[in-house]
Structures are given as structure tokens and as C-alpha cells.
């Protein structure tokens, strides 16, 4: 299952399971300081996915556009430091996928409740597209939509579950992708929620 999406991508099933306790404790610490919020897109829509960030740079959107910012605009402070357990998991996963020099400087934390979705988009706010993106799924399962370089290209559907880590590099890096509306459900200990950690080198 490691290369089904093309060179530079990897599906690392269960890769986060050994670190799950530390990851969940660290996630709680981060969102105590920079709480989840539903941001507004440049077009004026409130996102159904609630977001926070940790690390030197955080992804934000508002009526003026998308950007990476050192400051959490909700609390007017820098984003919380990236927890060691987060950083170590991301670098280990990248290395496993063939990116031994990945140094994440941004971690976007997405929270999905049933019905929340992320429509098809490309990630183009980073400087160096040769750097991979590492994604960690926790909690409820989700259907990941993975398309091509054009919005209209046909999409593959990939199921991701708690503990899965996906690495997106190489030719997949600029492909359209999204998350189908989260199905109703309950994950032991976490409840009606999916979290996704997205690690990037933004530069």
C-alpha cells in the first residue's frame, strides 16, 4: 500500500498508533492555548472544519485571503510550539516515504465533526513544492478524495482511519484533494470527531 498514489506518496497504515497517547495529550495542550475556530474564506464562507495550528507558522484564512502567519489572530500571540511527539512523528513518516530531510515549520490541526467537509483544493501557499506534506488521521474514519492537476480530473477515494499517516510528495504534491462529509459516528475516548494534523515546510 505504500506507493499506490504514485512516486513520492505513501500510505503508512497505523504509523501513528504507537505515539497515540502522546499525540492526544499534546493536541490538548496546543488547543488549550490556541483554540479551534471556524475561519472564514476570502469568499465569505465559514468553514465547516474547525482549525488551529502549532509551530512557527500557522495557516489562516479571512476575508483578505489565505496565508501563513506567525501570530494566532484569535489570541494575538504566536502559535504554540510544535510538540516533540508531533515533530518526531512527522519526520519519521517523511523519512519512511523517502524524504530524510523534512523539517516541518507548520502544523495545521483540522477538526471535523459529522457533516464537516473540505472541498477539493490544491495546497499552493508554500514556497517549495519539492517538500512533502505529512498528514496524520485521528478519531473517526474519513473518505479522502484525491484527484489530478485539474479540478475536473476524476478522483480516487481513499478511506483513512485512526492512526494512518499519509505522505504527499513528488508528483502528487499539487494534486487536487479534499475530504468527503464526515459520517456520523463515535470514536472511543474522542467522541464524534476526526482530527487531522497536516505538517508542512512552508519556508
Chain residues in the site for ligand MD3 (CB under 6 A)? 108, 110, 118, 123, 133, 135, 166, 168, 172-173, 175, 177, 179, 196, 198
Binding site for Fe ion (CB under 5 A): 123
Q: Which does 167 bind (CB under 5 to 8 A by kind): ligand MD3, Fe ion, none?
A: none
Distances (CA, A) of 40 to 37, 55, 175, 183, 186: 10, 22, 23, 23, 27
Angle ∠(105,4,111) on CA atoms, nearest 5? 45
Q: Which does 200 bind (CB under 5 to 8 A by kind): ligand MD3, Fe ion, none?
A: none
Do the beta carbons of residue 176 and residue 123 sit within 8 Å? no
Nearer to ligand MD3, 166 or 202 (CB): 166
CB of 100 to ligand MD3, least distance (A): 20
Q: DSSP string of 149-190? A: SSTTS--EEEEE-TT-EEEE-GGGTT--EEEPPPPS--BTTT
User: Nearest distance from residue 7's CB to Fe ion, in Å?
Assistant: 19
Considering the complex, what minimum distance in angstroms separates the CB of residue 197 from Fe ion? 12
C-alpha cell at 100: 530524510
Measured from the CB atom, is 72 or 123 closer to Fe ion?
A: 123
Which does residue 108 touch among Fe ion, ligand MD3, none (CB within 5 to 8 A, set by kind)? ligand MD3
| Secondary structure class of 93 (helix, strand, coil) | helix
Amino acid at each position: 500500500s505504500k506507493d499506490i498514489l504514485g512516486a513520492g506518496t505513501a500510505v503508512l497504515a497505523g504509523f501513528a498508533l504507537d505515539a497515540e497517547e502522546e499525540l492526544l495529550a499534546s493536541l490538548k495542550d496546543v488547543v488549550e492555548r490556541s483554540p479551534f475556530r471556524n475561519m472564514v474564506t476570502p469568499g465569505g464562507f465559514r468553514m465547516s472544519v474547525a482549525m488551529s495550528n502549532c509551530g512557527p507558522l500557522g495557516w489562516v484564512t479571512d476575508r483578505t485571503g489565505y496565508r501563513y502567519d506567525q501570530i494566532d489572530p484569535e489570541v494575538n500571540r504566536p502559535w504554540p510550539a510544535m510538540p516533540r511527539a508531533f515533530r518526531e512523528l512527522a519526520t519519521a513518516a517523511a523519512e519512511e516515504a523517502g524524504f530524510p530531510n523534512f523539517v516541518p515549520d507548520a502544523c495545521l490541526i483540522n477538526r471535523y465533526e459529522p457533516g464537516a467537509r473540505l472541498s477539493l483544493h490544491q495546497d499552493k501557499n508554500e514556497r517549495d513544492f519539492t517538500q512533502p506534506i505529512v498528514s496524520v488521521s485521528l478519531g473517526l474514519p474519513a473518505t479522502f478524495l484525491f484527484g489530478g492537476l485539474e479540478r475536473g480530473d476524476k478522483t480516487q477515494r481513499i478511506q483513512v482511519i485512526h492512526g494512518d499517516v499519509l505522505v504527499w510528495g513528488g508528483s502528487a504534491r499539487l494534486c487536487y484533494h479534499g475530504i468527503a462529509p464526515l459520517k456520523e459516528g463515535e470514536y472511543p475516548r474522542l467522541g464524534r470527531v476526526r482530527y487531522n494534523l497536516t505538517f508542512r515546510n512552508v519556508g
